[in-house]
């Protein structure tokens, strides 16, 4: 049964707040030239311009909140490229997020999204379902794991003695996030190793939840807000000099979404991406030589979201022996797109194939990125293309450099 357009003022409060923003879209098409899901098949309704037109029509009651409408919202990867390209400054991804929430509010989440929400909201369920990740994401097992199986870093690093504490620079909380905690624990081990090697006591508190970004992409603001409140309360209770993460998407969620999820009266934890944190420490530790020719993939949330693309490159270039060769379109989205990978893996594969081609053309030994999700996506794309180029997270390269200096 088709959904009938709601009458003005019925339940469109979420989108109503963006009427003025929507009116600034002049349909110029600058966004389409950089949108990965549009470039994958050139379907106008999958371009940011097309999505803005559909959202406007829904808001004005000219279009129902239909299955097709929901599908077009789901294929936005959240890469932020459209916002970067928009001459009118339209907050495209914010509007699409509001439309997703409104669609769930009016049509309901459906069976698949309800199941995903339950899994993402429960640590035990996340741990239990981790073995199903390759199947759900349509990946090879090696692409998800990124190498040999490893155990997660300890949930709580034991407190140091008074003598050890005096020798340390301070205490750091490491927020691992779902992709590292349940799928690529080796990256968490590398991050903890780096922080320990440069003189910090590392704490990983029990009870930290998913940051909530996957729930937002499902359109479930309520569930995302509940996770945000739990994380904020837990992090506020820990005495530490900094909170860092090796997942750019987690860092961006804390920075950009938590203030909106928790409200103006709440204390929002300051969570730093590891690239920025380590760049500030660069003069305080020595990196040994790493003989690699690498190319760098700008994860969307690290580069456009957090503005750390240049910082990450400088960090890698500071390692002796590293030769950085830029690929074509290093900031083009790899197609992971969070939940989009689950629902539209065909489009996701097409985007990844283009990225794999750009990487292979550099003839680099390895491609390095600062996002665990991008690492899985790129690894699968390269294997599909028959390439054995290594896919590394920045923490793995830095850990190797620190080890070689000893």
Cα separation, 215 vs 221, in Å, equals 7
> Does the residue 28 lie in any domain?
yes
Question: Where a domain ends, among 107, 139, 159?
Answer: 107
In a domain, 125, yes or no: no
Q: Can you give the pLDDT at residue 2?
A: 39
Q: Within this chain, do residues 293 and 398 fall inside the same structural domain, yes or no? A: yes
State residue 338's pLDDT score: 74
Judge contact between 224 and 212, C-beta under 8 A: yes
Residue 9 confidence (pLDDT) = 40
Contact 245, 272 (CB under 8 A): yes
pLDDT at site 225 = 95
Contacts of 348 (CB under 8 A, 6+ apart): 335, 336, 337, 340, 341, 377
Instruction: Give the model's pLDDT for residue 94.
Output: 94
Q: Is the pLDDT of residue 11 over 80?
A: no
If asked whether residues 323 and 341 sit together in one domain, one would say: yes
Does residue 371 share a domain with residue 261? no
pLDDT score of 162 more than 80: no
Q: Are 56 and 152 contained in the same domain?
A: no
Q: Per-residue pLDDT tens for 110-122?
A: 887 888 888 888 8
Confidence of residue 146 (pLDDT cuts 50, 70, 90): low
Taking only the tens place, the pLDDT of each residue in 12-44 is 677 888 999 999 999 999 999 999 999 998 999
pLDDT tens track for 194-236 = 999 999 999 999 999 999 999 999 999 999 999 999 999 999 9
- Quote the CA–CA distance of 193 and 153 in Å, as a whole number: 10
Residues 6+ apart with CB under 8 A from 43: 50
- How many residues are recorded in the chain? 406
- CATH code of the domain in which 377 resides: 3.40.50.11810
Number of domains composing the chain: 3
The residue to which tokens 């700008």 are assigned: 298
Q: Are residues 276 and 291 in the same domain?
A: no
Domain assignment of residue 115, yes or no: no
Q: Are residues 200 and 306 in the same domain?
A: no
Q: Which H helix or E strand runs over 175?
A: strand 170-175
Same domain for 186 and 268, yes or no, is yes
The pTM of the full predicted model, rounded to 2 decimals, is 0.89
pLDDT at 365 exceeding the cut of 50 = yes
Residue 272: which of 249, 295, 301, 251 has the closest Cα? Answer: 251
Tokens of 264: 């103006």
How many whole angstroms separate alpha carbon 20 and alpha carbon 240? Answer: 42
Q: Which residue range is the domain that position 151 belongs to?
A: 130-280
pLDDT score, position 12: 64
Residues of the chain with pLDDT > 70, as a percent, come to: 90
- 271 Cβ neighbours under 8 A, 6+ residues apart: 175, 235, 243, 244, 245, 250, 251, 254, 255
Residue 53 vs residues 89, 96, 127, 220: alpha-carbon distances, Å: 16, 11, 40, 23
Same domain, 364 and 268: no
Three-state DSSP at 322 gives: strand
Q: What is the CATH number of the domain that holds 18?
A: 1.10.1060.10
| Any domain includes 119 | no
| 292-318 confidence digits (pLDDT tens) | 999 999 999 999 999 999 999 999 999
Question: What pLDDT, on the 0 to 100 scale, is given for residue 145?
Answer: 63
Q: So what's the pLDDT on residue 290? A: 95
- Whether 211 and 349 map to the same domain: the answer is no
Within this chain, do residues 192 and 267 fall inside the same structural domain, yes or no? yes
**pLDDT at residue 4 tops 80:** no
Q: How confident is residue 148, by pLDDT bands cut at 50, 70 and 90? A: very low
**The predicted structure's pLDDT at residue 161:** 41
Q: Which of 107, 138, 171 is the last residue of a domain?
A: 107
Residue 5, in any domain of the structure: no
Residue at 7 is within a domain? no
User: Is the residue at 112 inside a domain?
Assistant: no
Q: Does the pLDDT of residue 283 top 80, yes or no?
A: no
Q: What average pLDDT does the segment 61-80 reach?
A: 92
In a domain, 62, yes or no: yes
Tokens linked to 186: 């080796």
> Which residues, in sequence order, are bridge partners of residue 391?
367
Q: Over 80: is that where the pLDDT of 5 sits?
A: no
| Residue 297 and residue 344 share a domain | yes
What residues does 293 pair with on adjacent strands?
A: 323
* Mean pLDDT computed over 1-8: 40
For the chain, state the CA radius of gyration: 21
How many angstroms separate the Cα of 67 from the Cα of each of 59, 71, 77, 108, 343?
Answer: 16, 6, 18, 11, 13
pLDDT in the model for residue 6: 41
pLDDT tier for residue 129 given thresholds of 50, 70 and 90? confident
pLDDT at 271: 97
Same domain membership, residue 68 and residue 198: no
Domain closes at, from 280, 312, 332: 280
Q: Find how far residue 134's CA is from the centre of its chain.
A: 18
Tens digit of each residue's pLDDT (9 = 90 or more) over 235-275: 999 999 999 999 999 999 999 999 999 998 899 999 999 99
Q: Average pLDDT, whole number, for the chain?
A: 88
Q: What is the pLDDT of residues 177-191, one digit of tens each?
A: 999 998 899 999 999
| Region of residue 61 (left: phi > 0; alpha: psi -120 to 50; beta: else) | left
* Per-residue tokens: 234: 């837990």
| pLDDT recorded at residue 167 | 56
State the angle between helix axes of 67-74 and 48-59 in degrees (0 to 180), rounded to the nearest 10: 140
């Amino acid at each position: 049964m088709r959904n009938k357009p709601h009458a003005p003022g019925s339940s469109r409060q979420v989108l109503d707040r963006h009427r003025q923003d929507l009116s600034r879209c002049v349909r110029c098409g600058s966004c389409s030239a950089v949108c990965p899901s549009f470039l994958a098949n050139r379907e106008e309704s999958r371009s940011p311009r097309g999505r803005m037109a559909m959202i406007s029509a829904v808001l004005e009651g000219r279009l129902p909140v239909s299955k097709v409408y929901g599908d077009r919202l789901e294929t936005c990867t959240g890469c932020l490229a459209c916002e970067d390209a928009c001459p009118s400054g339209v907050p495209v991804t914010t509007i699409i997020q509001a439309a997703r929430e409104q669609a769930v509010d009016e049509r309901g989440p459906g069976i698949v999204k309800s199941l995903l929400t339950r899994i993402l909201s429960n640590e035990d369920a996340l741990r239990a379902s981790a073995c199903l990740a390759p199947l759900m994401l349509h990946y090879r097992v090696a692409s998800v794991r990124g190498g040999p199986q490893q155990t997660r870093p300890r949930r709580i690093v034991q407190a140091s003695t008074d003598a050890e504490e005096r020798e340390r620079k301070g205490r750091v909380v490491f927020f691992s996030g779902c992709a590292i905690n349940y799928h690529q624990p080796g990256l968490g081990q590398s991050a903890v190793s780096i922080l320990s090697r440069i003189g910090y006591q590392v704490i990983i508190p029990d009870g930290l939840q998913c940051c909530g970004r996957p729930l937002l992409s499902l359109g479930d603001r309520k569930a995302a807000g509940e996770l945000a409140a739990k994380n904020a309360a837990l992090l506020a209770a820990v005495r530490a000099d900094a909170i860092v993460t090796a997942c750019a998407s987690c860092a961006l969620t804390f920075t950009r979404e938590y203030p909106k999820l928790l409200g103006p009266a709440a204390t929002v934890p300051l969570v730093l991406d590891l690239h920025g944190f380590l760049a500030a420490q660069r003069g305080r530790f020595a990196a040994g030589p790493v003989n690699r020719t690498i190319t760098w993939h700008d994860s969307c949330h690290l580069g456009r979201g957090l503005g750390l693309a240049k910082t990450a490159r400088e960090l890698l270039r500071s390692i002796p022996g590293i030769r950085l060769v830029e690929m074509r379109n290093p900031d083009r989205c790899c197609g992971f797109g969070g939940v989009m990978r689950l629902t539209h893996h065909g489009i996701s594969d097409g985007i990844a194939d283009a990225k794999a081609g750009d990487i292979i053309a550099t003839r680099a030994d390895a491609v390095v990125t600062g996002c665990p999700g991008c690492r899985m996506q790129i690894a699968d794309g390269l294997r599909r293309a028959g390439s054995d180029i290594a896919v590394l997270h920045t923490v793995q390269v830095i850990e190797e450099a620190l080890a070689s200096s000893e």
